A and B are shown apart, each in its own frame.
Chain A
Amino acid sequence: MERRGLDTEELRSAVWPARRAGSRSAAVLWLVLRRVVWAVPVLLLVSLGVFLLAAASPFDPIHQYYGVRIYDASAADVARVRAELGLDRPVLSRFWEWLSGLFSGDLGVSRSMRQPVVEVVTQRLPWTLLLAGTGLALAVVFSLVVGTVAAWRQGGWLDRAVTALGHALEGVPPFVLALLAIAVFSLGLGWLPVAGLTDAGSSLGVGQVLEHLVLPAAVLGVSQAPWLVLHVRQSLLTALTEDHVNGARARGMGERIVVLRHALPTALLPFVALIGARVPELVTGAVLVEEVFSWPGVASAVVTAAKAADYPLLAVLTLLATAAVLLGSLLADVAAILLDPRVATDG
Chain B
Amino acid sequence: MFNRRTLITSSLAAFALAGTACSAPSNSGGGSGPRSMLLADGYEPSSLNPLLGYARYGAAKFYDGLLAFDGRGTLHPALAAEQPESTDDARTWTVRLRRGVTFHDGSPFDAHDVVATYSAAVDPAYAATISSDLSMLDSVEAVDEHTVRFRLNIPYAAWPARMLMGILPKDALAEAAPQDRSPLNTEPVGTGPYRLAEWRRGERMIWRANEDYWGGTPEVDEITVVFATDDNTRAQRVQAGEFDGTVLPPTLAGRIGGDSYRTVHHDTADYRAITLPSDHPVTGDAAMRRALNLAANRSGMVESLLGGHGTPAHTPVPASMERYHAPEARFDFDRERARRVLDEAGWTPGPDGIRQRNGTPARFTVMYFADDTLRKKFADAFASDAERVGVRVELAGVDRSEAAERIGTDAIVLGGGCPVDPDVQMYSALHSSMIGTGTYRNPAKYRNDRVDSALDAGRNTVDPAERARHYKEAQRAYVADPGLVYLAFVQHSYVMRRGVWDGYEPVVEPHTHGTTWGPWWNVEDWTPKS
Contacts and interface: CB of A to CB of B under 8 A. Distances in A.
Contacts of A58: 399, 401-402
Nearest to A108: B181
Contact of B135 (A70, A77, A179): A77
A71 B10 CA distance: 33
Contacts of A59: 399, 401
A39 B402 CA distance: 39
A76 B511 CA distance: 24
Nearest to A116: B181
Contact of B440 (A72, A84, A85, A204): A72
Interface of B: 1-6, 8-10, 12-13, 30-31, 38, 40, 46-47, 49, 52-53, 56, 124-125, 127-133, 135, 178, 180-181, 185-186, 200-204, 224, 226, 233, 237, 242-243, 399-402, 404, 414, 416, 428, 436-441, 511-512
B232 to A, nearest CB: 12
A63 B440 CA distance: 12
B10 A182 contact: yes
A157 B347 CA distance: 77
A78 B438 contact: yes
Nearest to A180: B12
B9 A195 contact: yes
Given A66-B129, A183-B13, 14 more contacts: A65-B129, A68-B416, A69-B132, A70-B439, A71-B416, A73-B131, A73-B132, A74-B132, A78-B438, A114-B46, A194-B9, A197-B200, A200-B237, A201-B38
Contact of A85 (B47, B180, B414): B180
A249 B438 CA distance: 83
B203 to A, nearest CB: 6
A72 B133 contact: yes
Contacts, number: 161
Interface string A282-297: 0000000000001010
Given A84-B124, A113-B201, A69 B53 contact: yes
Contact of A76 (B6, B40, B203, B437): B437
A115 interface: yes
Interface in A190-205: 190-198, 200-201, 204
A154 interface: no
Contacts of A60: 400-401, 404
A75 B416 CA distance: 18
Contacts of A114: 46-47, 49, 52, 180, 185-186
Contacts of A195: 9
Contacts of B1: 190
A74 B135 contact: yes
A266 interface: no
B180 A111 contact: yes
A65 B12 contact: no
Contact of B439 (A75, A189, A193): A75
A81 interface: yes
A188 B16 CA distance: 12
Most A CB within 10 A of own CB, among B132, B226, B402, B512: B132
A83 B127 CA distance: 9
Interface in A271-323: 294, 296, 300
Chain A to chain B: the 3 pairs with minimum beta-carbon distance, closest first: A190-B5, A190-B6, A114-B185
Nearest to B11: A179
A58 B403 CA distance: 12
Nearest to B227: A294
B12 A200 contact: no
